[in-house]
């Protein structure tokens, strides 16, 4: 099973790079993944015309299936309502025989920081507590600070409780975006994978636009990172999971 993870495309931002956007479309279509995962910030301000522009871009991806959660930029200006109307549920659930993926809307309208919310804990526990499949939780905001991204002010307000819930459920991967920098933490057997921005020039230092590629073969997971700017691939994870 092959999955590609994109994040923070900001296709309507002045910092969006059309050349990188083209490369991302070409790469995804060439890879023919089973699933495309996008962890938010599709737009820049969440306006209607921006969602229309995003959909024009998104329709160019030729993928079997896709799971998308909103980012803080998408939730601005009542954009969270447009997300539900034009893209889909803000808390999507996807599953097959090999994996179960719980999407979470971690945004608060017009606020850059996030929150998962106690009202969502029962849903997470129900869908993430099984055995025998890869369990992925995806959201926009990171739950653990990312190095070299400045003073930490935007971790979800209830991150501690959510981390405890993730441990209790035995979630294998938590994927996110938001900080425009690629990073991986391993906390008690859960891999917290933050994808950098895939198409925006708002980079950290000497950073580069990126995408993540996950290949699952039974319990064997390989995660590679694509440098969108240079086209280089780098292996980030090669592990056997306890499913």
In order, the DSSP letters of 71-129 are -TTTTGGGHHHHHHHHT--SS-EEE-SSEEEEE---EETTEEEE---GGGHHHHHHHH-
* Domains contained in the chain, CATH given: 2-240 (3.60.21.10)
Mean pLDDT of the chain: 97
**Per-residue pLDDT tens for 211-243?**
999 999 999 999 999 999 999 999 999 999 999
Q: What is the mean pLDDT of residues 45-55?
A: 98
Three-state DSSP string of 13-76: CCCECHHHHHHHHHHHHHHCCCEEEEECCCCCCCCHHHHHHHHHHHCCCCCCCEEEECCCCCCH
Q: In the predicted model, is pLDDT for residue 153 greater than 90?
A: no
Confidence of residue 108 (pLDDT cuts 50, 70, 90): very high
Put simply, whether the predicted model's pTM sits higher than 0.95 gets the answer yes
Sign, Cα dihedral of 203, 61, 224, 133: positive
pLDDT band at 134 (very low <50, low <70, confident <90, very high): very high
Residues 134, 222: Cα–Cα separation, whole Å: 13
Residue 41's pLDDT band (cuts 50, 70, 90): very high
Q: Give the pLDDT mean for 194-221.
A: 97
In the predicted model, is pLDDT for residue 90 greater than 90? Answer: yes
Average pLDDT over residues 90-99: 97
pLDDT value of residue 150: 85
């Amino acid at each position: 099973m092959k999955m590609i993870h994109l994040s923070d495309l900001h296709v309507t931002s002045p910092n969006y790079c059309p050349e990188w956007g083209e490369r991302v479309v070409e790469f995804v279509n060439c890879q023919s993944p089973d699933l495309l995962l996008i962890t938010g910030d599709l737009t820049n301000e969440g306006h209607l015309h921006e969602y229309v522009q995003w959909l024009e871009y998104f329709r160019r991806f030729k993928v079997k299936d896709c799971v998308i959660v909103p980012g803080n930029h998408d939730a601005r200006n009542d954009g969270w309502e447009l997300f539900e109307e034009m893209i889909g549920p803000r808390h999507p659930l996807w599953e097959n025989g090999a994996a179960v993926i719980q999407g979470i809307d971690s945004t608060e309208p017009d606020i850059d920081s996030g929150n998962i919310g106690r009202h969502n804990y029962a849903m997470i526990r129900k869908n993430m507590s099984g055995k025998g499949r890869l369990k992925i939780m995806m959201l926009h905001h990171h739950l653990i600070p990312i190095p070299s991204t400045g003073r930490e002010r935007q971790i979800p307000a209830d991150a501690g409780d959510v981390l405890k819930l993730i441990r209790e459920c035995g979630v294998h991967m938590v994927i996110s975006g938001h900080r425009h920098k690629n990073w991986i933490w391993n906390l008690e057997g859960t891999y917290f994978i933050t994808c950098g921005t895939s198409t925006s020039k708002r980079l950290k230092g000497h950073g580069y636009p990126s995408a993540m590629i996950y290949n699952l073969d039974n319990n064997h997971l390989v995660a590679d990172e694509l440098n969108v700017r240079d086209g280089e691939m780098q292996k980030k994870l090669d592990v056997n999971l306890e499913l």
